[in-house]
Amino acid sequence: MRHTLPHAPQFYVTAPQPCPYLHGRAERKLFTALQGDNAADLNNALSRQGFRRSQNVLYRPSCESCVACMSARIRVADFHPSRTQRRVTARNGALRRVATSAWATEEQFELFRRYLDSRHADGGMADMDIFEFAAMIEETPVKTRVIEYRCLDDAIPELAAGDDHLAGVCLTDVLDDGLSLVYSFYNPLLRPASMGTYIILDHIEIARAAGLPYVYLGYWVPGSRKMDYKARFGALEIYKGGVWQDIGDPEAHSNEAHPLSVDPIVEQVARIALPQFDR
C-alpha cells in the first residue's frame, strides 16, 4: 500500500545532547519525516529554510540557548575563486570525477573508515559499521548522487600510483535550485592538498554547468574552528532571521550564541512555509 505525507508534516524535537561545535553547549534538533510521493517537494522547500537531509529525515538546529548554527550556501553565478582556491584546483588536477547512483560500495566504506579514524575518531559517526554506512548512502527518497573522485595517475605524490584510486566521495542531493552536499570524506593523506575545499569547488562547477544557482554547504557556526573554512568562500549566504543574506563580516555574527536570540519551538514551526501538496 502506498503511503503519502499528510498535508501538514509533523515536527518533533530531539533531546538535548552535547554540541559538537561549541564547547559547553547543548544541541537540539527540530525534525520531520521525509517520505512518500511529495518527498522531493518537501526537501526543496525546507532546504530553502535552513533544513538538511539525513536519510529519511529533514532536520534543523533548534537549540534552547543558541542560534549559532546557520545554513550556508554559495551563489554560483557570483562566485569567483580566490588565488588560494585556484591553487587547490590545480593541485587536484590529476583527479577525475565519477558520478554514480546512491549505492554504497566496500571501497567507499574503507575510505570512510580511514577518514573517520584520522579526522573524527571521537565524533558521532565513529562507530558506524558498513550497514549503517550503506543506510546513510542508500536511504534517500529524493534525487541523490554519489560523486567519486579518482586518481588518474601518480601526479598526486601522497597517493600510490594507479589509474583507478578512490581519493574522495561526496553524497550530494540534487535540489530544484542547487546541489546540497550531504556528506563528504576523502583520503586523509590528501588533507595537505585541501581535498575538502576541492570537493566544494568542483560542486560549484557542476552546478554552474547544470544551470543551478546554489551550492548548499550545510551549517556554518561562528566561533567554531571546524566551520571556519566555509567563510572563506566568496558569494556566501547564510540563513539568518528567516531570510538568506550575504555573510558579510563573519565576526559580526558572534552574538548568535546568546540565549535571548532563541524563539519558542511553537513559533519556529508556525513560520515554516510548506509546499502545497495535491489532495
Instruction: Pick the closest to residue 87 from 205, 208, 201 (CA basis).
Output: 201
CA neighbours within 13 Å on the CB side: how many for 104?
Answer: 17
Higher pLDDT, 53 or 255: 53
Prediction pTM value: 0.90
Measured CA distances, 150 to 39, 125, 181, 182, 237 (Å): 32, 24, 18, 19, 30
Share of the chain above pLDDT 70, in %: 87
Label residue 1 by pLDDT band (50, 70, 90).
very low
- Fold category of 76-217 in CATH: Aminopeptidase (3.40.630)
pLDDT band at residue 23, thresholds of 50, 70 and 90? confident
pLDDT at 154 over 60: no
At residue 8, the pLDDT reads 75
Where are the chain's structural domains? Answer: 76-217
